A and B are shown apart, each in its own frame.
Chain A
Amino acid sequence: MSLTALLQNCARSFPDGTRALHPTTLEFAAGSVTALLGPSGCGKTTTLRLLAGLAMPDAGGRVLFDGTDVTGLPVEQRGIGMVFQNYALFPNRDVAGNIGYGLEVRGVPKAERTARVAEMLRLTRLEGLGHRRVDQLSGGQRQRVALARALAPAPRLLLLDEPFGALDARLREALRAELAALLATLRITTIFVTHDQAEAMALGDQVVVMQSGRVLQQGSPRAVYQQPANRFVGQFVGTLNHLGGDRFCRPEALRPDPAGTLGGVVLVSFFEGGHTRLHLRPEVPGAEGEWVLNLGGTVPAAGSRMTLALDSAAVLHLPA
């Protein structure tokens, strides 16, 4: 059903000399869900377009699907499904017309097409909206139409460019859970782009962290969080507290303890519902910046001094 996708030594340069992607080799296992994570302009969309066949790698790069070289194959012949950043729904077609387009192009008979569209409408919880114009849909509904349209022809590789980018925070979370459930049942190899680390961790079996056209680390969300390859990755996928030198720790490695060896002064606290986020000025030689830790219950007032204990197994040694 699903396929293994491989980018082999793929780079991408533009005529003006911009190197959007340095030579990169990445494997996406059959049935896995991968998040491409990184700051704006780091080459996420470029990587996705290389996989889709919407862009060509520089000479020397190859794209392989299940071991077959598809580098020269244009997008319309790759059999992929793609969800675009702004959804790119066809304004002159209704919801059903959008979802059925891929089947129409393939010459699927009308009756079969209608059945498949109905199935997709049900799967994406859009029942009853088949004849709605796409400009009469909410943002979340549009996103689901785009997903249904990409899935209708049963692609073996699903590519999503910031699928939740245009939605507000609450809706993002709801749709994220929905997509996770859908992907778990479909088992299609999926690669999605995001610059939201929480989204990448929640949805991906695998996270690829990128910066300035290079892959910094590839691994499970847990591995990337607990053993980041360097400071940038560590900071991008979570919060790092500097302990001096190349030593860092995550907020949860620090806990209030009167017998502790570390000290800090509370600068400010943010009540976030289940816990309170504290910012401290560390009183440890060599520690730069602020420390962050999350506490339940009552918290010390700003200006008060805290004694903290450190879980020494959780200390991270990170190169710059």
Chain B
Amino acid sequence: MARRSESAGPFLLRAALLAPALVLLLAFFLLPLAKLAMLGFEGQGYWAAITAPRSLRALRDTVLLSAAVSFSAVALAAVVGHFLARRRFPGRRLLVAMLTLPMAFPGVVVGFLVILLAGRQGLVGSVTEALFGERLVFAYSFAGLFAGYLYFSLPRCIATIMAAAEALDPALEEAARSLGARRWRVVRDVILPGLAPALVASGAICFATAMGALGTAFTLATDTSVLPMLIYTEFTLATNLGVAASLSVLLGATTWVVLALARGASGSLAANA
């Protein structure tokens, strides 16, 4: 008897506590998503919107770009993050603080920086012209997008991985070395497995952010069209709500599937190690 009333009490209490969260979830997440999914059926419909050559090309470019950026950002951040976590040198705190600065920049500013760096009047161009007599301009290509995306992804990855590297027990590395492991064995057998959860997590966030980034691509107005750009164009310029909604669902679903696959792969990797 007592048990029943006890469990009934917390159940009601839990329901009451959960209610506001459920309302929020419904109002800001499920309802708009459902509306968006419904919108996709208007006009030519999902299949036509998604299979249009333009959409498929944008999807392919976006996924490739985001994957390339995620891998590069995580690899670079692993090296830098581990270094910053372990070494103490003058100016280290300032450097760490400066690294987090780009986090506040909107995509437009990042695009602008890429133009300053590799645009028609850019720094890289001036240097290569002086050296080789030819201006290297890549701001408006896939490479420019890559540079911009990498720029805004790196700080986030470094922050996450640095925190994980600080939590790694240095005695594990010393233990591996005392057993005869050289530098690369230590990296492979101790550091990478220790950082794996952080690498996967920051890679996933990086990928999702890159998939949805608009500002940088917009500023660079490149020859490569990424999916968010296409959605923007359909929505504001062509006011083609049905196509914009279809592509949005495609973008969301693709990101979700890729992340689920990555998580599954890293999970089985960790289990095998």
Q: Which residues of A does B touch, CB under 8 Å?
A: 52, 54, 74-77, 79-82, 84-86, 88-93, 101-102, 105-106, 149-150, 153
Q: Are A76 and B193 in contact (CB under 8 A)?
A: no
Q: Are B172 and A90 in contact (CB under 8 A)?
A: yes
Q: Are A52 and B179 in contact (CB under 8 A)?
A: no
Chain A residue numbers with a CB within 8 Å of B178 are 52, 54, 75-76, 80-82, 150
For this complex, 26 residue pairs linking A to B, each with C-beta atoms less than 8 Å apart, are A52-B178, A74-B177, A75-B178, A77-B180, A79-B180, A81-B178, A84-B174, A84-B175, A85-B171, A86-B169, A86-B171, A88-B169, A88-B171, A88-B172, A89-B175, A90-B172, A90-B193, A92-B273, A101-B176, A105-B176, A105-B180, A105-B181, A105-B185, A106-B180, A150-B179, A153-B180
> B182 an interface residue at 8 Å Cβ cutoff?
yes
Using C-beta atoms within 8 Å of the partner chain, give the interface range for chain B: 10 to 19
Q: Which residue of A lies closest to B192 (CB)?
A: A92
Q: Are A88 and B174 in contact (CB under 8 A)?
A: yes
Residues 160-203 (chain B) with a chain A CB within 8 angstroms: 169, 171-172, 174-182, 185, 189-190, 193-194
Chain A residue numbers with a CB within 8 Å of B179 are 76, 101-102, 105, 149-150, 153
> B270 an interface residue at 8 Å Cβ cutoff?
yes
Majority-rule SS of B interface residues = helix
Chain B residue numbers with a CB within 8 Å of A149 are 175, 179
Q: How far is the CA of A264 from the CA of B171 in the complex (A)?
A: 52
Q: Which residues of B does A touch, CB under 8 Å?
A: 169, 171-172, 174-182, 185, 189-190, 193-194, 270, 273
Of B174, B180, B182, which one neighbours A54 at CB under 8 angstroms?
Answer: B174
Q: Distance (Å) between the CB of B197 and the closest chain A CB?
A: 11
Q: How far is the CA of A150 from the CA of B178 in the complex (A)?
A: 8
Chain B residue numbers with a CB within 8 Å of A75 are 174, 177-178
Chain B residue numbers with a CB within 8 Å of A90 are 172, 175-176, 189-190, 193
User: Assuming A82-B175, A105-B185, what are 13 further A-B pairs, CB within 8 angstroms?
Assistant: A54-B174, A76-B179, A79-B180, A82-B178, A84-B174, A86-B169, A88-B169, A90-B190, A90-B193, A92-B194, A101-B181, A101-B189, A105-B180
Chain A residue numbers with a CB within 8 Å of B194 are 91-92
Chain B residue numbers with a CB within 8 Å of A81 are 178
Q: Distance (Å) between the CB of A91 and the closest chain B CB?
A: 8
Q: Which residue of A lies closest to B271 (CB)?
A: A92
Of B171, B174, B270, which one neighbours A92 at CB under 8 angstroms?
Answer: B270
Q: Which residue of A lies closest to B171 (CB)?
A: A88
Chain B residue numbers with a CB within 8 Å of A84 are 171, 174-175
Q: How far is the CA of A80 from the CA of B175 in the complex (A)?
A: 11
Q: Which residue of B lies closest to A159 (CB)?
A: B178
Chain B residue numbers with a CB within 8 Å of A106 are 180
Chain B residue numbers with a CB within 8 Å of A80 are 178
Q: How far is the CA of A85 from the CA of B170 in the complex (A)?
A: 12
Q: Which residue of A lies closest to B272 (CB)?
A: A92
